[in-house]
Amino acid sequence: MQKSLVSITDYSKEEMLRILDYAAEFEKNPNQHILDGKVVATLFFEPSTRTRLSFETAVNRLGGRIIGFSDASTSSSSKGETLKDTIKMVSNYADLIVMRHPLEGSARYASEVSSVPVINAGDGANQHPSQTLLDLYSILKTQGTLENLRINMVGDLKYGRTVHSLLQAMSHFNPTFRFTSPEEQKMPAEYKEFLKERGIPFEESFSL
Active site members: 50-51, 79, 100, 128
Look at residues 77, 76, 127, 120 and name the one whose alpha carbon lies nearest to residue 96.
120
The neighbour count for residue 182, using CB atoms within 10 Å, is 13
How far is residue 89's CA from residue 202's CA, in Å, rounded to a whole number?
Answer: 45
Query: Which residue type is seen at 171?
Result: S
- Kindly give the residue spans of alpha helices, DSSP state H, lying in the chain: 13-28, 49-61, 83-90, 106-113, 129-143, 161-170, 189-197
Residue 58 makes CB contacts below 8 A (sequence gap 6+) with: none
105: alpha, beta or left? (left if phi > 0; alpha if psi -120 to 50)? left
Closest CA to 108 of 120, 98, 124, 92: 120
Q: Hey, is 90 helix, strand or coil?
A: helix
Nearest to 67 by CA among 50, 44, 84, 85: 44
